[in-house]
Structure 1
Amino acid sequence: MTAFSLTPEAAAPRLRVARRTLERLRSVPALAGRYPGHLDAGSLERLAELPPLAKDDLNTALAHLEPAAERSATWLFQSGGSTGAPKVGYAPTGFYMAGVHAHWQPLDRTDVFVNAWGAGRMWGAHFLAAALADLSGCRIIALGSVAREEYGAWLEFLAARRVTAIGGTPSVLRLWFAHARATGLELPSLRKVLWLGEAWQPQLDADLAAVAPLARRWGMFGSTETWVVGTNTPHCPADVFHPLPEQLVHVDADAGGLLDFTALDPEVLNPVLRYRTGDAGELTTCPCGRPEPAMRVLGRRDSVVQVRGLGLDVDELIARAEREPAVARAQVVLTEQGGRATGVEVLVLAAGQGAAPDVERLRKELFGDTSTLSTAFQHDPGSFRVRPVDELVSNGRTGKTAALVVREQS
């Protein structure tokens, strides 16, 4: 099931890119046997017959292939690393953003844009956003990462500079706007919020209404392997994206609706062919009125972890905790020793100043309502806890806050 259909004339150059990528993958000894007899595929739709490419497969290919970067310099960046071991990936200096800007222009020359994506340790998002802002011709404040104690002073600076746009991961944006709301600081000039790296957080809508009522969200969906797959506008639901012309999207109904992506940009350096990020989705019609097909991202399908031989749905547990009025966000920490779960902890972030979650009542309800927890820890119920925190565990390099954190007990 493909997210767009093209005329034969328009499909031909994209099919050439797909064939070139397929040939590159076939040149990798460990992967060659997976792709017999598919080089003569006559259409992009037939690519859906190819086996999907998983992260380990892509890592194997990247370790074997050198990027074709003779025409310009090449960025080396970390591919993954939020929840697993980081790997090296490649991108041209423009980060493919000229193609994105041609179809999606949230910024213009009148904007004052704060780039709040972290610039640390080989993560590409800060520089990707910088390339987009540069194409727009706007003024840029390359702020990067900010420590918690610095938010107040920087927010006052941004208000004084009449900032009109800001961008970052939703986890980081949530910290900015929650602090502004708690301290009564407003950003009346802010009109645009760009986001990439995580799903949009509904709590941001409430914070923006109080801090920057004129601000509207503009989203990008993708990964460090695929780069930007699709975009949305304030007229689109937060979970619906319009694929870019150089991205082919398939929905695999036989695999629970998992999405896979094929990069058809002639300049692509990573061999991305039916690459699977772990997100599920469906093809849909966007209520924004744009005629082209769109994809709704339904969330990851790798959120079930094993706890003493039983499956625990992390997303479901977090959703239950976040239904509490006093809880803004929640996170699950799984402690293991020798591969065996020794404890599960739900960290909860208060919804605002004066909000105090009743953690003991919540612990009892979560424990009693979640059969995996009550069964796995029936003999040691104290190994499941709910704990209030001032901030959740985040990746210092990217600013992302994963739903699940796994720790090895010493």
Structure 2
Amino acid sequence: MFSLTPEAAEPRLTVARRTLGRLRQVPELAARYRGCADVRTLDDVAALPPLLKDDLNVALAHLRPRAEHGATWLFQSGGSTGAPKLGHAPTGFYMAGVHAHWQPLEREDVFVNAWGAGRMWGAHFLAAALADLSGCQVIALGSVTRDEYAEWLAFFAAREVTAIGGTPSVLRLWFAHARAAGVELPALRKVLWLGEAWQPQMEEDMAAVAPEARRWGMFGSTETWVVGTNSPDCPADTFHTLPHQLVHVDEDELLDFTTLDPEMLNPVLRYRTGDAGRLVACPCGRPGPAIRVAGRRDSVVQVRGLGLHVDELITRAEREPGVTRSQVLITETGGRAGAVELLVVTEPGASVDVERLRKELLAETFTLSTAFQHDPENFRVRPVADLISNERTGKTAGLVVREGT
């Protein structure tokens, strides 16, 4: 199943043919694509081998981006849950095409760009390009430290900020700090997010701090750039695909992406990010198919030969009264999980019996009870003030793996 009809895709398939030709130039990939038929229909696209992250990294090492149309930005993607990869983008970050179909910001807005601005991550600059197209005022904030939140929140209130954007992990910190400090942002109407799935737990803090605020989401990756967008009338997990993005849903419900924008520098052809989903009719009533993103299929990690569903463990932990956020930390020694810790952040003043929670999770989770049958003390639940975040992007992954000593 494709997000575009054959009629809508036909004028853009020239780009897919060109991308296929580029991939055939890569020695390590040439054999895979040499026997493939030329791309003339959507069925031809579906018959091509999927392009995985490592394949794209190999291709980018051989194919220089077409920089003759302007400056080329080089960005690092990944690094939160996998090895870093490189991506390219022209000045403007393809946001003119996004802005033509999705306009959450208006000229009258005062917008706080709270995506991290450093270390080769593109989201801050992508959001800046969108703000430029809207003509609004921008506070290019970037990352802040814990002791700076109160002063900045007071500044936002004084400046009557109407919009803020960032990863949900970062946004959740902003709203939690505002609520704890008793700061209200009555002018705030719009919350833009990109980089992670929306966190429903944030809704309560938003309602207290900025009751008029509504979410506006983007979905994509540094390799594909923005694939789809949603509005406050759409479910948080449902995105309307942009006309230059071709999304294919396989029988296993894995999503792959083919970018049909002729300005695209990355060779994105049936590229798989690890996300699963399906095509649906969005309840907002907007015509055409949308994609409902079910999450990443790579959230299953091997623990002593058994598959641990990280997302399910986190969901169960965050249902515990008093627990606001959680994260799985695996310590490996020689490639083998020596210990698994569930890090939990609790509400101020809440009393959570972590030992009881640990015993319940051990009993309820087959992988944990089996893997740690002989050393149950190596599965722990540990209260923490903050979860482990990526300093470069501000993202907080559900799973962190580190090497033990």
Partners of 1:114 and 1:191 lie apart in 2 by 12
Partners of 2:224 and 2:131 lie apart in 1 by 20
1:39 Cα deviation after fit: 4.5
1:306 Cα deviation after fit: 1.1
Q: Structure 2 counterpart of 1:388, which letter?
A: P
Match of 1:399 in 2: 394
| Structure 1 residues 337 and 116, CA gap change in structure 2 (3 angstroms) | same
Contact 2:245/2:258 (CA < 8 Å) preserved in 1?
Answer: yes
Contact 1:22/1:39 (CA < 8 Å) preserved in 2?
Answer: no
Partners of 2:73 and 2:319 lie apart in 1 by 42
C-alpha distance after superposition, 1:204-252 (max 9, x if no partner): 1111111100000000000011100000000000000000000000001
1:87 Cα deviation after fit: 2.6
1:242 to 228, 240, 245: 240
Partners of 2:131 and 2:43 lie apart in 1 by 34
Match of 1:5 in 2: 5
Q: Structure 2 counterpart of 1:4, which letter?
A: L
1:88 Cα deviation after fit: 2.2
Match of 1:277 in 2: 273
1:125 to 123, 126, 129: 123
Contact 2:37/2:44 (CA < 8 Å) preserved in 1?
Answer: no
Match of 2:360 in 1: 365
Contact 2:255/2:275 (CA < 8 Å) preserved in 1?
Answer: yes
1:6 Cα deviation after fit: 4.5
Match of 1:72 in 2: 70
1:33 Cα deviation after fit: 1.2
Partners of 1:43 and 1:119 lie apart in 2 by 40
Partners of 1:311 and 1:391 lie apart in 2 by 26
Moved more, 303-312 or 20-29: 303-312
Q: How does 1:137-156 map to 2 (within 5 A)?
A: 137-156=135-154
* Aligned-partner SS, 2:141: coil
RMSD after superposition? 1.0
C-alpha distance after superposition, 1:273-315 (max 9, x if no partner): 0000101000000010101110100011111111111111111
Contact 2:16/2:39 (CA < 8 Å) preserved in 1?
Answer: no
1:390 Cα deviation after fit: 0.8
Partners of 1:5 and 1:205 lie apart in 2 by 36
Partners of 1:224 and 1:304 lie apart in 2 by 23
Partners of 2:253 and 2:354 lie apart in 1 by 36
1:115 Cα deviation after fit: 0.0
* Aligned-partner SS, 2:152: helix
Give the TM-score normalised by the residue count of structure 2: 0.98
C-alpha distance after superposition, 1:121-167 (max 9, x if no partner): 00000000000000000000000001111111100100100000000
1:82 Cα deviation after fit: 1.6
C-alpha distance after superposition, 1:345-391 (max 9, x if no partner): 000011x3212322111111001111111111111111010011111
Moved more, 368-377 or 95-104: 368-377
Contact 2:304/2:337 (CA < 8 Å) preserved in 1?
Answer: yes
1:329 Cα deviation after fit: 1.0
* Aligned-partner SS, 1:202: coil
1:43 Cα deviation after fit: 1.2
Q: Structure 1 counterpart of 2:388, which letter?
A: V
1:327 to 323, 328, 333: 323
Partners of 2:118 and 2:34 lie apart in 1 by 41
Contact 1:230/1:241 (CA < 8 Å) preserved in 2?
Answer: yes
Contact 2:38/2:44 (CA < 8 Å) preserved in 1?
Answer: no
Contact 1:19/1:39 (CA < 8 Å) preserved in 2?
Answer: no
Contact 1:220/1:231 (CA < 8 Å) preserved in 2?
Answer: yes
Q: Structure 2 counterpart of 1:72, which letter?
A: G
Q: How does 1:87-166 map to 2 (within 5 A)?
A: 87-166=85-164
Partners of 2:315 and 2:9 lie apart in 1 by 42
Query: Aligned pair 1:294/2:287, yes or no?
Result: no
Task: Extract unaligned runs of 5+ from structure 1.
Answer: none
Moved more, 41-50 or 361-370: 41-50
Q: Structure 1 counterpart of 2:160, which letter?
A: R
Partners of 1:98 and 1:76 lie apart in 2 by 19
Q: How does 1:125-274 map to 2 (within 5 A)?
A: 125-253=123-251, 256-274=252-270
Partners of 1:335 and 1:86 lie apart in 2 by 20
* Aligned-partner SS, 1:206: helix
1:45 Cα deviation after fit: 3.8
Partners of 2:75 and 2:360 lie apart in 1 by 43
1:34 Cα deviation after fit: 1.2
Contact 1:191/1:214 (CA < 8 Å) preserved in 2?
Answer: yes
Match of 2:48 in 1: 50
Moved more, 304-313 or 52-61: 304-313
Q: How does 1:347-362 map to 2 (within 5 A)?
A: 347-350=343-346, 352-362=347-357
Match of 2:310 in 1: 314
Aligned length: 405
Partners of 2:390 and 2:117 lie apart in 1 by 12
Task: Extract unaligned runs of 5+ from structure 2.
Answer: none
* Aligned-partner SS, 1:208: helix
| Percentage of matched positions with identical amino acids | 77
Partners of 1:84 and 1:299 lie apart in 2 by 16
Match of 2:24 in 1: 26
